[in-house]
Amino acid sequence: MVFMNKALEPTRTRIHMDDPRGFAQMVNTFSHYIKQENNDWQRPTLVVCIGTDRSTGDSLGPLVGTRLQSFKTGLFEVYGTLDTPVHASNLAEVLSSIEKKHPSPFILAVDACLGRLESVGYISIAREPLRPGSGVNKHLPTVGDISISGIVNVGGYLEFMVLQNTRLSLVMKMAHLIANSLFYTLNRFAQPNYGYSSALQRPASGESSLQN
């Protein structure tokens, strides 16, 4: 859980989950950053989704991870689902395990975020590590090459209570958009390099099928 309270860097993009162009904008943003960080697809790609299913507002990460895992593509590894969440208590252990398994991984990190009222509903994508826990005054290790933060509610006061009272519908909608755009982007990058079958390509029904 992070708290957005500073000016956004030039390497950061914000997209509202209700923007009809949101899916395309997120795919374009992910593609741009991946080209800069892992264009040759030589580094193993991981998606680390941080959060817990014990808090509605903080369940964004596990929901994204669970949806990504359901695609069963083998294009990337997912850490952090509803069944096996990655949270404050085990984050350091998970990162240590990743480091032993993958000496130089390319990591996309996902977490929920608190921010200003006018920012709720925005998804922030940055070419920089995620700093989990800062929104609730926890000092946790930074994670990843690209950070994806969904602003789910207002921060600044009684953060834990705010998280518990966050609307599930908002979190679910945001999680589906993040997961679908991530899957579509990573699928596009991996296939030219590894020749994955057409079964992994986007459904014939089009972009809308990934946004449901």
Distance between CA 212 and CA 200 in Å, rounded?
18
- The rounded percent of the chain whose pLDDT value lies above 90 is 63
For the cut 80, the answer to whether the pLDDT of residue 197 exceeds it is no
pLDDT value, residue 160: 78
Domains in the chain and their CATH numbers? 9-194 (3.40.50.1450)
Terminal Cα distance for the chain, rounded:
25
Distance between CA 3 and CA 132 in Å, rounded?
9
For the cut 70, the answer to whether the pLDDT of residue 191 exceeds it is no
For the cut 80, the answer to whether the pLDDT of residue 6 exceeds it is no
Half-sphere exposure for 139 (CA within 13 Å, toward CB): 0
Tell me: the pLDDT tens digits for 132-178?
866 556 678 899 999 999 999 998 777 878 888 899 999 999 999 99
Q: Which residue has the higher pLDDT, 72 or 109?
A: 109
